[in-house]
Amino acid sequence: MNRTARGAAFTVLAMLSFASMDAISKWLVVDYTLGQIMWIRYAVFCVFAWLVVRPRGFVRALRSARPWLQAGRSLLALVESFVFVLAFRYLPLADVHALAATAPLIVIALGVLFLGERAGLARWVAVFAGFIGMLLIVRPGFRDLNTALLLPIAGAFMWGVYQILTRLCSRSDSSDTTLVWSAFVGFAASTAVGPWSWQWPSAAVWALMIVAAVLGALAQYALILALDYAEASAVQPYCYTLLVWVTLLGLVVFGDFPDAWTIAGGVVIVSSSLFAWWRDRQLSAATA
């Protein structure tokens, strides 16, 4: 398996983990504060990061060639997470992810402008096909416009910038370093608000919070590995699989059965991702 294919596989895993975490977060944010949810999430993330890097040395992983870039990227990830969880309080899960699906377009544009990456016709076609699939799923569901819709739009932009910064960090730091900084900077920042808005959860809620935190940590690490293996623009078509996972979780968890338009949109998204993967493999084989 070449590096681009590995990046694609890790991206799909990250999207599944993010979708599962978001479904749990939407339920939690009704009764618990954002600060508490994020504090617990990053506390578990720190444990996860420590377990991953410990065999190769935790102190070694802390050393970064670009500490300010790592710190800024990690803080941006925390703010972006706050914004999306807040959006889940006011908007349906599908609407939030529909707007968040604009992030791949942002990444490709920023990747070309700031990273010097090349986005061939196949990648652009795949991304726009995925965008059409997203429109089929959500079909203008924003008739009653409100200011809450600005939250996922802002979150999508921050998510796109975050991926570009992660790719920049991968040029000088290992994935272990990026993981450790993501976890511990986010935990330090969330500690400023988390303990002060504490509501003691029940045992069941504790379990859900920990599961959501583990899923978030797994998603972050998978995305770091994806951007370590492949260019940011190369993995963007696979980010649209997030909408497929959200649709499936809506059916299983919330009982929302997808209609024909939603199924058609999912087919378009999956097909565009597979097309991008097939085309990248062809180009890699030709180069080799």
Separation CA 286–CA 55 (nearest Å): 38
In a domain, 203, yes or no: yes
63 token code pair: 């050393």
DSSP codes of every residue in 37-99: HHHHHHHHHHHHHHHHHGGG-HHHHH--S-HHHHHHHHHHHHHHHHHHHHHHHHS-HHHHHHH
> At 257, is the secondary structure helix, strand, or coil?
coil
pLDDT at 145: 52
Per-residue CA distances from 287 to 40, 226, 228, 230 (Å): 46, 21, 20, 15
Q: Is residue 276 part of a domain?
A: no
264 in any annotated domain: no
Q: What is the pLDDT of residue 217?
A: 87
Cα–Cα dist 247/268, whole Å: 14
Residue 136 is assigned to a structural domain of this protein: no
- Predicted TM-score (pTM) of the model is 0.77
Is the dihedral angle over the CA atoms 156, 160, 161, 167 positive or is it negative? positive
CA–CA gap between residue 285 and residue 276 (Å, rounded): 14
Question: Do the domain assignments include residue 78?
Answer: yes
In a domain, 197, yes or no: yes
d(CA 202, CA 204): 5
At residue 141, the pLDDT reads 53
pLDDT tens per residue, range 174-192? 989 999 999 999 999 999 8
Written in H, E and C, the secondary structure of 90-141 is HCCHHHHHHHHCCHHHHHHHHHHHHCCCCCCHHHHHHHHHHHHHHHHHHCCC
Q: Is 86 domain-assigned?
A: yes
pLDDT of residue 212: 92
Backbone angles phi, psi at 255, to 5 degrees: 75, 20
Nearest to 83 by CA among 186, 153, 18: 153
The total number of structural domains that make up the chain:
1
Which residues lie below 8 Å from residue 118, measured CB to CB, with a gap of 6+?
112, 233
**193 is in which domain, residue-wise?**
3-119+147-238
Collect the ranges in the chain with pLDDT lower than 50: 143
